[in-house]
């Protein structure tokens, strides 16, 4: 499960001071000194029980301003600050089953009941309310290729909730959780690590009943661009996709290249030929997905 951080500190700081500290020091979850410094900053920010209310009121007031850029990160997420290129602060609001927003929208926008890992590490603190529940698992990222249906050694750890004041580090490519609604409206605060290389590492959805990978959740802009270029029939796009499918350093990009080619074929025979070439292209991830597609075409 996520690593519990023991960081007792009664001092309270505001959002501005927390942002200044993170801007000065940054946040590197792989460095113990950086990790504990950021954890202390988050703890002290969480000790200010008024700051988020002030932020929310200001956000509501400013939404009517023509030049206001609202946070578009998610339906229940508010970006609080971006202290640096590789760190940002956010707040997440977690509704209970009694809340109208959850009844109206369903669980999907809040990622409830979706077993997943993360391709980034982040600190989280229970700020308000009893906290959302999670079933926690662990797995070894290095042992999987990443194709849908692949068996994974998922190890169940416990069910617990992010209680008020609880501070944890979610570890990239290790911690898997299935979130469930809080017993009452709750809020968590996060210090997020954001590095350019993260976009090339996969995030997975898991089938925790059969201990398998269900799907890849992360998709990059380059994948979309390549799919669009092939679909539009642009000059050399098909050749580029063939080359990427065989030699790109990212397995996920290689898979996207084969998918782009298969999608423009008009009959099952041609699509099977694409996936046959993909199966022999030298990637375990691509080979696993190619076999799945060929079985579907044959059935």
Give the pLDDT score at 200: 78
Give the pLDDT score at 201: 84
135 and 157 inside one domain: yes
Segments forming the whole domain that contains residue 247 = 221-298
252 and 176 inside one domain: no
Q: What is the CATH number of the domain that holds 106?
A: 2.60.120.10
Q: Which of 216, 241, 268 is the last residue of a domain?
A: 216
168 and 271 inside one domain: no
Torsion of CA 107, 111, 116, 120, to 10 degrees: 180
193 and 228 inside one domain: no
Give the pLDDT score at 67: 55
Total tally of structural domains belonging to the chain? 2
158 and 272 inside one domain: no
The SS3 assignment for 95 reads: coil
47 and 181 inside one domain: yes
- Cβ-based burial of 247 (10 A; exposed 0-12, middle 13-18, buried ≥19): exposed
Q: Taking the chain (299 residues) in consecutive chunks of 10 residues, what is each chunk's mean pLDDT?
A: 93 97 95 96 97 87 60 72 93 93 87 94 97 97 94 97 97 97 96 83 94 89 90 90 94 94 94 96 94 93
CA–CA separation, 102 vs 108, rounded Å?
A: 9
35 and 130 inside one domain: yes
Cβ count within 10 A of residue 287: 18
Give the pLDDT score at 66: 54
* Sequence-ordered alpha helix ranges (H) in the chain: 15-25, 32-46, 51-62, 100-105, 221-231, 237-247, 251-264, 268-279, 284-298
35 and 180 inside one domain: yes
Give the pLDDT score at 56: 85
Among 198, 195, 203, 201, which Cα is nearest to 177's?
203
105 and 12 inside one domain: yes
209 and 230 inside one domain: no
Give the pLDDT score at 73: 52
């Amino acid at each position: 499960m996520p690593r519990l951080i023991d960081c007792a500190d009664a001092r309270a700081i505001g959002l501005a001071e927390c942002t200044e500290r993170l801007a000065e020091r940054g946040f590197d979850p792989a460095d113990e000194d950086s990790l504990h410094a950021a954890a202390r900053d988050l703890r002290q920010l969480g000790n200010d029980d008024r700051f988020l209310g002030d932020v929310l009121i200001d956000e509501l007031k400013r939404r009517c301003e023509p030049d206001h850029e609202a946070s578009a990160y998610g339906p229940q997420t508010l970006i609080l600050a971006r202290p640096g290129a590789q760190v940002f602060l956010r707040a997440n609001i977690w509704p209970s089953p009694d809340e109208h927003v959850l009844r109206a929208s369903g669980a999907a926008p809040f990622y409830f009941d979706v077993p997943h890992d993360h391709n980034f590490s982040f600190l989280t603190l229970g700020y308000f309310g009893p906290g959302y529940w999670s079933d926690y698992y662990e797995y070894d990222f290095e042992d999987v290729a990443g194709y849908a249906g692949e068996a994974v050694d998922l190890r169940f750890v416990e069910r617990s909730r992010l209680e008020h004041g609880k501070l944890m580090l979610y570890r990239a490519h290790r911690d898997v959780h299935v979130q469930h609604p809080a017993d009452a409206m709750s809020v968590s605060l996060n210090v997020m690590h954001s590095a350019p290389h993260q976009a090339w590492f996969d995030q997975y959805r898991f089938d925790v009943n059969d201990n398998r990978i269900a799907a890849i959740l992360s998709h990059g802009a380059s994948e979309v661009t390549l799919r669009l270029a092939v679909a539009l029939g642009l000059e050399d796009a098909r050749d580029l996709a063939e080359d990427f499918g065989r030699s790109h350093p990212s397995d996920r990009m290689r898979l996207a290249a084969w998918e782009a080619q298969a999608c423009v074929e008009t009959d099952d025979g041609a699509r099977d030929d694409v996936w046959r070439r993909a199966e022999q292209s030298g990637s375990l991830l691509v080979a696993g997905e190619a076999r799945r597609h060929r079985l579907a075409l044959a059935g």
